[in-house]
Amino acid sequence: MLERIYSLLGLARRAGKITSGESQIEVMLKKGKGFLLILAEDAPGTHKKYGKWAEDLRLPVLILGTKQDLGIAVGLSPRSTILVMDEGFAKAILKIRS
């Protein structure tokens, strides 16, 4: 299941449909954009920081993988947060998770 999600995240990055890194994600959340927030399991500070924010925006949140796993999935350095900007990718990932 995780491998399929990581694969979709890689596709979404290549399609330009994700944002990662805390500063970029904060900008997008302030604008009310995004369809799915993914947080790394080994980044508990981000769970507190973004959990309430996502709840207020009615944005689904997935907590999965490590920072290293998420970074590898999107072809970047370790990532604690990823915001999926495309509704289709977000729905596909949530469907796999459920």
Backbone angle region of 18, left / alpha / beta, with phi > 0 → left and psi within -120 to 50 → alpha? beta
Whole-prediction pTM = 0.93
Q: Report the mean per-residue pLDDT for the chain.
A: 92
Share of the chain above pLDDT 90, in %: 78
pLDDT at residue number 49: 87
Find the helix or strand (DSSP H, E) in which 40 lies: none
pLDDT at residue number 27: 94
Domains for the chain: give ranges and CATH numbers: 2-97 (3.30.1330.30)
- Residues of the chain short of pLDDT 70, as ranges, are none
Angle, helix 67-74 to helix 2-14, in steps of 10 degrees: 50
pLDDT at residue number 45: 86
- How far apart CA 81 and CA 43 sit, in angstroms, is 9
DSSP letter at 75 equals T
